[in-house]
Amino acid sequence: YVLKDNEFALDNVVASARRVLSNRRTRILVVDDVASARQILVGLLEAQQYMVIEAASGLEAFAALEAYDDIEVVITDHHMPDMSGYELTRRIRRHYGSDRLRIIGVSSSSDRMLSASFLKAGASDFLYRPFVAEELQCRIANNVETLAQLKQLRAAAACDYLTGLYNRRYFYDLGPKLVNDCLRHKAAAAVAILDIDHFKRLNDTYGHEIGDEVLKAVADRLATIFEGSDNLLSRLGGEEFAILFPMMDSSAASKLCDEIRSDIARLKVMADDEELSVTVSIGVAEISDYETFDNYLNAADQFLYMAKHKGRNQVYS
């Protein structure tokens, strides 16, 4: 038993050390109407290097979730006067999926069905009180790890493997939402498709690997240009990129695209001791009416075709 306890202690030390080293402390919200019950949890969690926020009711819990956008785990009691933990769990789940927030129910109730009710309501886990500290700590650690894995999966699903930009899937997922936000606020928006000129020729002359290097260099340049902006940049596929400009009319977007065009024309990519450069053509379409997202992209694609037709290395809108 002594050995086992020591093993647990060692695991805990290692887990805490990892968290401190990774310089990212998980924030946990503890919801319980009884201050002394909160204190027990807070003590356990702080010993594990978690950052802890306390709430004495469901309403306080919601206020905390609004005030801190980095809460990863909610540990909630069940019996509370204004809102039960079960009800709180149901309400939280209307706004936060289990890939955003883990919820662990705790209760000293003797109702053995409570655990299942919590899990059905969307809780990620449940423990009856009094709990074994190590069990609670393990369950929290598991939930934190699951959340990290889900985040990684979501990031990977949104990412283009070659360039690290957002991919087509993410563009088509977020794009329509951004467009609808603009239209609802009667604000302008525009979408552009950027395509590298004569890229097949470059591949044929220098090989696919150098083609990839050039693609990455163009993508890096675009990423730098759009870093920190509200514009949504993605690689649609091949040598084509799409950019959504929320809150920007098409003439402003076209002007910006022309600066990007000349910026990329000046870009030099070193490949086999040779300095390569490429040009791009860009089609820009205005978003002004409730049409399908595909329609906006088709319009931008047609303008891109015009830019190619008129001689490439230009913007057409």
* Beta carbon nearer to ligand GH3, 99 or 204: 204
Which residue out of 239, 275, 286, 291 is catalytically annotated?
239
How far is it, in rounded angstroms, from Cα 33 to Cα 212? 59
Q: Can 239 be counted among the known catalytic residues?
A: yes
Cβ atoms of residues 105 and 78 within 8 Å: yes
**Residue span binding ligand GH3 (CB under 6 A) among the ranges 67-75, 107-115, 178-186, 208-216:** 208-216
Cβ–Cβ under 8 Å, residues 264 and 218: yes
Query: In whole angstroms, what is the distance from residue 100 CA to residue 151 CA?
Result: 8
Among 178, 182, 193, 196, which residue sits at the site for ligand GH3 (rule: CB under 6 A)?
Answer: 196
Stretch that binds Mg ion, among 17-25, 141-149, 232-240, 244-252 (CB under 5 A): 232-240
> Half-sphere exposure (CA, 13 Å, Cβ side) for 272?
6
Q: Does 241 bind Mg ion (CB under 5 A)?
A: no
Q: What are phi and psi of 42, to 5 degrees?
A: -60, -45
The full DSSP string for 18-48 is: HHHHTT-PPEEEEE-S-HHHHHHHHHHHHHT
Interaction residues for ligand GH3, span 239-258 (CB under 6 A) = 239
Distance, in Å, from the CA atom of 109 to the CA atom of 34, rounded to the nearest integer, reads 15
Q: Using the rule CB under 6 A, which residue among 58, 85, 105, 211 binds ligand GH3?
A: 211
CB of 280 to ligand GH3, least distance (A): 9
For residue 45, give both structure tokens: 């969690």
**In whole angstroms, how close is the CB of 278 to ligand GH3 at the nearest point?**
9
CB of 181: closest distance to Mg ion in angstroms?
29
The amino acid present at 151, given as its one-letter code, is: K
Picked from ligand GH3, Mg ion, none, the partner binding residue 24 (CB below 5 to 8 A depending on kind) is none
Q: Does 238 bind ligand GH3 (CB under 6 A)?
A: yes
Tell me the site size for Mg ion, rule CB under 5 A.
Answer: 8
**Torsions phi, psi for 192 (to 5 deg):** -125, 145
User: What pairing do the DSSP bridges indicate for beta strands 232-237 and 166-167?
Assistant: parallel
The binder of ligand GH3 chosen from 197, 231, 299, 317 (CB under 6 A): 197
- When the beta carbons of 32 and 195 are compared against ligand GH3, the nearer one is 195
User: Catalytic amino acids?
Assistant: 239
Residues engaged in binding ligand GH3 (CB under 6 A):
162, 195-201, 203, 208, 211-212, 215, 238-239, 308, 312
